[in-house]
Amino acid sequence: MNLEQLIDYLRGNPQLGANITHWEEIPPREAQWEDFPDAIQPRLMEALRAKGIQRLYVHQAEAFRHVEAGKHVVLVTPTASGKTLGYNLPVLNTLLQEPDTRALYLFPTKALSQDQLNELHDLITRMEADIRTFTFDGDTPVAARKAIRRAGHIVITNPDMLHQGILPHHTIWIQLFENLRFVVIDEIHYYRGVFGSHLANLLRRLKRIAHFYGRRPQFICCSATIANPGELAGRLLEDDVVVVDRNGAPSGRKHFVFYNPPVVNRELGIRRSVVNETRRLARFLLDAAVQHIVFARSRVRVEILTRYLKEDARTLHMEQRRVRGYRGGYLPNERRQIEQGLRSGDILSVVSTNALELGIDIGQLDAAILAGYPGSIASTWQQAGRAGRRSTTSLAILVASSSPLDQFIIQHPEYFFHKSPEMGIIDPDNLLILMSHLKCGAFEIPFEEQEEFSPVGTAEILDYLVDKRVLRKTGGKYFWMSEIYPAEEVSLRSASPDNVVIVDTTEGEQVIGEVDLFSAPMLVHKEAIYLHEGNMYHVDNLDWDRKKAYVHRVAVDYFTDAITKTTIKVLTVDEDKDAGMFRLGYGEIQVSGVTTGYKKIKLHTHENVGAGRVYLPELEMATSAAWVEIPDALAAELNFNENQLSGALQATANLMRNVAPVYLMCDPNDIRALPMVRSPFSHIPTIYLYDNYPGGVGLSFKFFTDPLPIVEAALQLVSHCPCEAGCPSCVGPMLEVGTAAKQHSLIVLQQLTQALGNR
């Protein structure tokens, strides 16, 4: 059975058809071409023709012209549309004319860096040019680093290595900085929230060092389709940017299917597991030998699905090695082996987190299954775009979970297919992040007294660091004076630099992965089951002081799910305002979280088969939050008792938190909601919506400034949910919110929507 026949089967299968809420058929698109610009060097043109490229897509030609004119550019076209050539073309063309020129390529992951190195080498080899190109990351041998610093024309790296391995040591990278002409930043839509805020400050440091060496580099950025690529690139670069978004690449016909698992308990509104339904659909692809990718929302889901599909491969008399998992935490050689297996066709099915969402070359797959909504429209299109050749049919299936966000998307296909993708939000002047990079900047080059690193409070922060004896001010300059190397203390991936290393003790001691500090109590607490490539490891001990989790391999038929408890304390109120009888606030809070226990979940059936206690210290985080205060008068007017009010607040918080990522373009894990029947701060019913990062990144502030769209979406979700009295797809589990929560949250949201609309 080929893919076309499989699509016909899916269309005609009444059991599957009953769960399909929308079938979008996207017609094929013809290519739009332009001839090679006259400015392109003959050697480069010949190399391109040898690769079968006779002309350029219109977006590639347009980007080339703008770069030649000296402008900063952001190239915004879909997955597999030739963005790589869009930046390689002007860079290689300049290097052929000016051999002393240097370029720096930034990719968000090491895997993507390695992938791009192969693409560049191919072109350079065909040109027979002396253009030395190297990757510089944590895997680069020490012996090779000196040669890269001295002779690298194009240095391919990632933000983390630029932050810790290049900028602090700029004095030994003189060849690069004295001749730096281009900085390429790929996948800029990836740099939102905390990571994007760090990158903006990292680029401030990069430009500051380049200026020290008399250079003003030109930036070439690429992005998937988002609503504000020009604004996001402009905020990252703090300069004017030309947007190139007229896509000229061809594409084959694509079938995009929205699939909602069947309801198995209508009274409780419980649907069949997204994992089991994804497995069911992926098995059809395995059986038909259709090469595909399955995207899962979490590392645990990736590992469970990998295990399930390996079992299916065995029952289909297929080698289990043709099914692989892929996620952060795998060793570099393991990841590259999987990527090569996908390109060669040896691997038929890969289950991945969003690690393969980016433009790593994994060949042209025929189908993609998304096990749960990825959290943003842009990411969904990126993941769906991993399947599809330029001239053949492809299939993408979004399988919804029971979460309110998934149900909102699956029941409103017009929102997904007809709405512009979301915005990328960053906050470069976040105090915690900004202060960290000012420390790093002072280590690199002393700050002048009137120098502006950020438009917000540079001098005040520098003076504060002088008071704390981190910097020394003398002769009108701020000098680094601490013995601590600042870049090593700052992690770009979150505002917390610590992580926990996972050590396998089955045969000796071997590091098999790592998790961030805040996730460790949930994923690698004592007695947890940690999964890796479908294999299961029992956590014997979590050494909190040494930041190590010791595990050994086991064969069990369950995995674990942590139980956590969170409390909030308001530290400051920065702004507040009235909204009818409601009141909105925004300020700094302290969040205290602790893992108190865990559940054992049986494989396949996903039954709860046991539980246990966990004894770990509380983790405290200062962050920003917006909150809605609900007056006692409203509760009295609605005749809610204490239990009903608690259920209504929990249900309303669940609804708002789960639709908020759609409007804030953040990962669902980036934002949290917590209701309190009696807030310790105000002593009245309150719902807090807070940034799930130390210091905050502006997500809750956006809700504070414009809460109506999120509140209206929450109201629409609960109004249109077909359940009788509330379910996990709208207000949350009935055991958590109570039997009257749907009706009561509906009233609260109606009142709040009316109050906000009248403001």
CB 481 within 8 A of CB 439: no
- Look over the chain and give the mean of its residue pLDDT values, rounded to a whole number: 88
Q: Based on the domain organization, do 412 and 313 belong to the same domain?
A: yes
- Say what the pLDDT of residue 495 is: 46
pLDDT band at 66 (very low <50, low <70, confident <90, very high): very high
pLDDT grade, residue 670 (50/70/90)? Answer: confident
Confidence of residue 267 (pLDDT cuts 50, 70, 90): low
User: What pTM, to 2 d.p., does this model score?
Assistant: 0.77
Comparing CA positions, the residue from 476, 444, 725, 684 lying closest to residue 582 is 684
- Does 522 map to a domain? yes
Per the structure, the count of domains in the chain is 5
72/133 same-domain check = yes
pLDDT at residue 154 above 50?
A: yes
* CATH code, domain with 464: 1.10.10
Please check whether residue 425 lies inside any domain of the structure: no
pLDDT at 605: 80
Instruction: Please determine, for residue 649, whether its predicted confidence score (pLDDT) is greater than 90.
Output: yes
Short-list 676, 701, 699, 645, CA closest to 568 = 676
CA 172 to chain centre: 33
Q: Considering 213, 244, 275, which residue would you say is the last residue of a domain? A: 244
Residues 90-101: tens digit of each pLDDT: 999 999 999 999
207 plus 298 within the same structural domain: no
Residues 240-257, mean pLDDT to the nearest whole number:
92
112 located within any domain: yes
In a shared domain, residues 616 and 744:
yes
Same domain, 627 and 719: yes
Over the stretch 718-736, which tens digit does the pLDDT of each residue have?
Answer: 998 877 777 767 887 666 7
Q: How far, CA to CA in Å, does 579 sit from each of 75, 331, 625, 630, 712?
A: 42, 52, 17, 10, 15
Tell me the three-class secondary structure of 510-550, residue by residue. Answer: EEEEEEECCCHHHHCCCCCEEEECCEEEEEEEEECCCCEEE
Whether 95 and 178 share a structural domain: yes
Report the amino acid identity of residue 250. Answer: P
**Least confident interval from 208-217, 355-364, 523-532, 645-654:** 355-364
With respect to residue 305, please indicate whether it lies within any of the assigned structural domains. yes
Q: Please report whether residue 452 resides in a domain.
A: yes
pLDDT band at 662 (very low <50, low <70, confident <90, very high): confident
Across the range 196-218, mean pLDDT stands at 95
pLDDT band at 2 (very low <50, low <70, confident <90, very high): confident
Q: Where would I find the H helices in 593-707? A: 632-637, 642-664, 699-705
Token representation of residue 435: 């202060």
Reply yes or no on whether the pLDDT at 448 is more than 70: yes
Report the amino acid identity of residue 472.
R
Residue 242: how many CB atoms within 10 A of its CB?
A: 17
Provide the domain limits for residue 295.
3-21+251-418
Per the model's pLDDT, the better-predicted residue between 570 and 267 turns out to be 570
Assess whether 506 and 639 both reside in one domain.
no
Please classify residue 289 by burial: count the beta carbons closer than 10 Å to its beta carbon, then call 0-12 exposed, 13-18 middle and 19+ buried. Answer: middle
* The last residue of a domain, from among 244, 272, 294: 244
Listed residue (652, 662, 647, 654) closest to 629, CA to CA: 652
Encode pLDDT of 416-438 as tens digits.
888 766 677 777 887 778 998 99
Point out the domain boundary residue: 202, 228, 244. 244
**Does residue 175 sit within a domain?**
yes
**Shared domain check, 624 and 729:** yes
Q: What is the CATH number of the domain that holds 91?
A: 3.40.50.300
Question: Can you say whether residue 193 is alpha, beta or left, with left for phi > 0 and alpha for psi between -120 and 50 degrees?
Answer: left
Residue 32: count of CB within 10 angstroms of its CB? 16
Distance between CA atoms of residues 93 and 31, nearest Å: 24
Q: Looking at residue 240, what is its pLDDT?
A: 95
Asked, for residue 69, whether it belongs to a domain, the answer is yes
Most confident of 535-544, 614-623, 636-645, 663-672: 535-544
Question: Alpha helix locations (H) across 13-165?
Answer: 14-17, 42-50, 58-68, 83-97, 110-127, 142-151, 159-161
Would residue 27 count as lying in a domain? no
Q: Is the same domain home to 233 and 256?
A: no
My answer on whether 544 and 565 are in the same domain is no
Q: Please check whether residues 606 and 644 belong to one and the same domain.
A: yes
Q: What angle do CA 613, 619, 623 make, to 5 degrees?
A: 140
pLDDT band at 738 (very low <50, low <70, confident <90, very high): confident
The rounded percent of the chain whose pLDDT value lies above 90 is: 50
Same domain, 276 and 398: yes
Instruction: Find the mean pLDDT for residues 9-13.
Output: 89
Stretch among 140-144, 458-462, 507-511 having the lowest mean pLDDT: 140-144
Q: What is the pLDDT of residue 65?
A: 96
